[in-house]
Amino acid sequence: MNLSDSFAGVTVCDLSQGVAGPHATMLFAQFGANVIKIEPPDGDWGRLLGDQYGEHCIHSWYYNLGKRSVTLDLKGETGREKLRALIETSDVFVESFRPGVAKRLGFSYEAVRSLRPDIIYASVSGFGQTGPNSTRGTVDALMQGFSGMMVMNRSPDGIPRRQNMVAVDVVTGLYLHVAIAAALVRRRDSGEGTYLDISMMQAAAAFQGAKIAEYAATGGEGKLFYAPVGLLPTSDGAVSVSCRLQDHFVSLCERLQLKHVADEPRFKNAQQRVEHNAELMTILGKASAEHSTDVLLRELHVAGVFAEKVQSYGDWLTDSHVDATNAFHWVEAEGIGQLPLTHIPGLGTHREASPRIGEHTSEVLHGIEAPMQ
Q: What is the C-alpha separation between 332 and 352, in angstroms, rounded?
A: 8
* Residue from 130, 142, 88 nearest 112 by CA: 88
Q: Please state the rounded mean pLDDT for residues 56-75.
A: 97
Q: Please state the rounded mean pLDDT for residues 263-270.
A: 93
pLDDT digits (tens, 9 = 90+) for 215-228: 999 988 777 899 99
What is the DSSP pairing of strand 194-199 with strand 120-125?
Answer: parallel
Q: Please state the rounded mean pLDDT for residues 87-100.
A: 97
Q: What is the C-alpha separation between 28 and 31, in angstroms, rounded?
A: 5
Helix/strand/coil for 339: strand
Residue 371, pLDDT > 60, answer no
Percent of the chain with pLDDT over 90: 93
Q: Please state the rounded mean pLDDT for residues 196-214.
A: 97
Q: Which amino acid is at 278?
A: A
For residue 166, the model assigns a pLDDT of 97
Q: Please state the rounded mean pLDDT for residues 240-245.
A: 96
* Residue from 180, 209, 174 nearest 197 by CA: 180
Task: Please state, in angstroms and as integers, the Cα–Cα distance from residue 39 to each residue in 16, 17, 120, 132, 244, following that order.
Answer: 8, 8, 20, 29, 50
| Between 223 and 57, the higher pLDDT residue | 57
Helix/strand/coil for 200: helix
SS (H, E, C) 299-322: HHHHCCCEEEECCCHHHHHCCHHH
Return the CATH superfamily for domain 11-210+343-365: Crotonobetainyl-coa:carnitine coa-transferase; domain 1 (3.40.50.10540)
- Tell me if 176 sits within 8 A of 124, measured CB to CB: yes
Class of domain 229-310 as given by CATH: alpha beta
Question: Exposure string (b/e) for 190-207, b if CB count within 10 Å is 16 or more?
Answer: eeebbbbbbbbbbbbbeb
* Residue from 75, 67, 73 nearest 94 by CA: 67
| Mean per-residue pLDDT over the chain, rounded | 95
Cross-strand pairs, 124: 198
Grade residue 170 by pLDDT with cuts at 50, 70 and 90.
very high
Q: Is the dihedral of CA 334, 340, 342, 348 positive or negative?
A: positive
Write out the catalytic residue numbers. 169
Q: Is the dihedral of CA 16, 22, 27, 33 positive or negative?
A: positive
Percent of the chain with pLDDT over 70: 98
> Which helix (DSSP H) or strand (DSSP E) does residue 35 occupy?
strand 34-39
> Would you list the domain boundaries of the chain?
11-210+343-365, 229-310
Nearest-5° angle of CA 299, CA 302, CA 304?
110
**pTM for the whole thing?**
0.93
Q: Please state the rounded mean pLDDT for residues 323-347.
A: 96
Residue 363, pLDDT > 50, answer yes
Residue 366, C-beta contacts closer than 8 angstroms, at least 6 positions apart = none
For residue 224, the model assigns a pLDDT of 85
Same fold, 11-210+343-365 and 229-310: no
For residue 1, the model assigns a pLDDT of 66
